[in-house]
Amino acid sequence: MTGNATFRHENTALLAVTSVEAPVVVSSAEFDERLAPSLKRLRLSKRLLERVAGVTERRWWSPGTAFDDAAIEAGAKAMAEAGIEPGQVGLLINTSVTRRNLEPSVAVKIHHSLGLPSSAMNFDLANACLGFVNGMTLAANMIDSGQIKYALIVAGEDAQGTQEATFNRLNRPTSTREDFLSEFATLTLGSGAAAAVIGPADLHPGSHRILGGVSRAGTQHHELCVGGVDGMYTDTKGLLDGGLELVVDAWHEAQTDGWKWDSMDRYVTHQVSNSYTNAIIKAVNLVRERVPITFPRWGNVGPASLPMTLAQESQSLNAGDRVLCLGVGSGLNTSMMEIAW
C-alpha cells in the first residue's frame, strides 16, 4: 500500500459527544400500512423491514423542527458538556447528508446560531454515512498541528421527506418488485442529530484520547448506493459484498501497522441493519456482546448514527476502556478510529 491509509494523533481528545433523538416514533408496521397496496400487488410479505433489516421503528422530527435546528441543539449540548465556550471554538464541521439547498453550506446557520466567533472556520464535509468520523479525523489533525484548539463536529438528519417521496413512487401501479428492492434501504432510514467537541488532550486530563486509525477507499463501487432528496437507490448485495471486502482489507492493514483491535471493550459501528451488522461481526471476528445495536429503534441515521450510538454507550464506558469506531459509507469508503476512554 502507498498513500496515507493509517494515521495516529498525538494530542487530541474527545471532550464530549451528545445526541438528540427525534421525538416522533414511526413503526415499520406503519410503513407496511402505507405500502399495503403495492405489497399486495407485488406479492411481497409485510414485516420485511423487521424480518430482513431488523428495523422495528425509526424517528421523524415534529412539524416545525428542522434537521439543522436539531444539529444546533446537539452542538450546544456538546459544548456545555465539554465546558467549552463558543468563543473558544476554532472549527465547525457539519457532516449532515440532509440539506435544503446547494448553497450556502448548512454549517453557516449552525455557526451563527451557536454564536461561534468570526475566526472559527466552518464548512460542510460530505462523505455519506462516514462523514462524522472523517470530520473527527480532520479536526484532530488540525488540533495536532496547532492550527486550532477546539473543534465542534455536528450532524443532523431528516429522513421523512425522502421516505414520503418513496411511498408515493412505490405505490404507483407501475412500480415493480425491482423498484421496491432497489429502494428498500430508504425505508430503513431515520432522523436524529449528534455533536462532538474535540480538543487538546494535554489541557484536559482524564479526557478520551483519540489515538488514530485507518481509512480505505473502494471507489470502484461508487454507483452501488446513490441518493438524492427524492430517494435512494441501492444494490444491497453489491454494497454489502463490497463493504465487507473493504473493511477486511482495512482491518488487516491496520494490524500490519501495529493496531491491535481484536480485544476492544466496545465496537461502535455505523448502524444499518441485521445483515450488515452480522456480516461485519463475522468478517473480522468481533465479540458480539461488545457491539451495541441501535438500528432497531433509530434506523439508519446516516452520519449521525455512529456518534448517537457512541453517546448512548458513553454512559456505561469506564476510564481506560478501548473503543473502536467503525463505519462504511457509500462510495465506498471505510474508516476505523480508536479512542482510549
Given a cut of 80, is residue 2 above it in pLDDT?
no
Residue 196 lies in a domain: no
pLDDT for the residue 247: 94
Transcribe 167-194 into DSSP letters. HHHHTSTT--HHHHHHHGGGGGB--EEE
Does the bond joining 326 to the residue before it have cis omega, within 30 degrees of 0? no
pLDDT for the residue 141: 97
Question: 136 near 196, Cβ under 8 Å?
Answer: yes
pLDDT for the residue 171: 96
Alpha-carbon gap, residue 52 to 187, rounded angstroms: 12
Residue 260 lies in a domain: yes
The pLDDT tens digits for 14-43 are 999 999 999 999 999 999 999 999 999 999
Distance (Å) of CA 218 to CA 36, 58, 248: 37, 29, 12
pLDDT for the residue 3: 61
Distance from CA of residue 262 to its chain's centroid? 23
pLDDT for the residue 231: 86
pLDDT for the residue 170: 96
Does the bond joining 104 to the residue before it have cis omega, within 30 degrees of 0? yes
Residue 275 lies in a domain: yes
Residue 233 lies in a domain: yes
Transcribe 69-124 into DSSP letters. HHHHHHHHHHHHHHT--GGGEEEEEE--S--S-SSS-HHHHHHHHTT--TTSEEEE
Alpha-carbon gap, residue 182 to 306, rounded angstroms: 24
Distance between first and last Cα of the chain: 30
**Residue 320, SS3 per DSSP:** coil
Question: 91 near 121, Cβ under 8 Å?
Answer: yes
Given a cut of 70, is residue 239 above it in pLDDT?
yes
All three cell numbers of 57: 421503528
Residue 77 lies in a domain: no
Alpha-carbon gap, residue 13 to 300, rounded angstroms: 26
CATH code, domain with 287: 3.40.47.10
Kindly state the percentage of the chain with pLDDT values over 90.
95
Question: 302 near 308, Cβ under 8 Å?
Answer: no
Residue 255 lies in a domain: yes
Q: Which residues are catalytic?
A: 103, 129
Residue 250 lies in a domain: yes
All three cell numbers of 192: 436524529
- Structural domain count of the chain: 1
Tell me the residue range of the domain where 211 lies: 207-340
Q: What is the phi/psi pair of residue 320, to 5°?
A: 95, -15
Alpha-carbon gap, residue 249 to 245, rounded angstroms: 6
Transcribe 242-285 into DSSP letters. HHHHHHHHHHHHHHHTT---TT-SEEEEPP--HHHHHHHHHHTT
All three cell numbers of 280: 461485519
Task: Give me the mean pLDDT over the 216-244 stretch.
Answer: 91
The pLDDT tens digits for 92-108 are 999 999 999 999 999 99
Residue 326 lies in a domain: yes
Task: Give me the mean pLDDT over the 179-206 stretch.
Answer: 96
**Of 69, 299, 312, nearest to 193 (Cα)?**
69
Alpha-carbon gap, residue 261 to 269, rounded angstroms: 13
